[in-house]
Structure 1
Amino acid sequence: MIKDEMDEVIGQLQVVQINFQEVVQDFLRRFEFKDMKKLNEYVPVITMIANTTRVWENRGHTPEELS
């Protein structure tokens, strides 16, 4: 299930003119986090995925590659 969710996040990040914050908020809304500890485990993973996903607007480069 987690792999499917992460694949969906990656797919959303690769869409033209996507807002990273909206993708993260949408992802977090789908889950009911019981505590902040669990939430804090997901946010760094999503951030890492966002920084290493090839994005159309970056001509196929990741944000890390551009920096």
Structure 2
Amino acid sequence: MEQPSFFRFLMTKRNPGSYDPIAQFANNAFFDMSFPKQSTNFDEISKYLEENADYIPTMTIFDDAWHEYLDAI
């Protein structure tokens, strides 16, 4: 079975009414048309976010979401 992409996992965390940082990250990533949607690579996604995603206030949020992703797969 193929590993789901990080983006696909992240979309399960969407919750437009939530103040949870991972939910807010997911909500914003949903509208990011350039997000590497097929990637399962930490370095690729991290680099993309650091260079392009002004909607994520701290990379700790991505790190926390990544750990949840690894636990889920």
What TM-score bracket applies, with the shorter chain setting the length? 0.3 to 0.5
Larger radius of gyration: 1
Relative to the length of structure 1, the TM-score reads 0.36
Report the TM-score, using the length of structure 2 for normalisation: 0.34
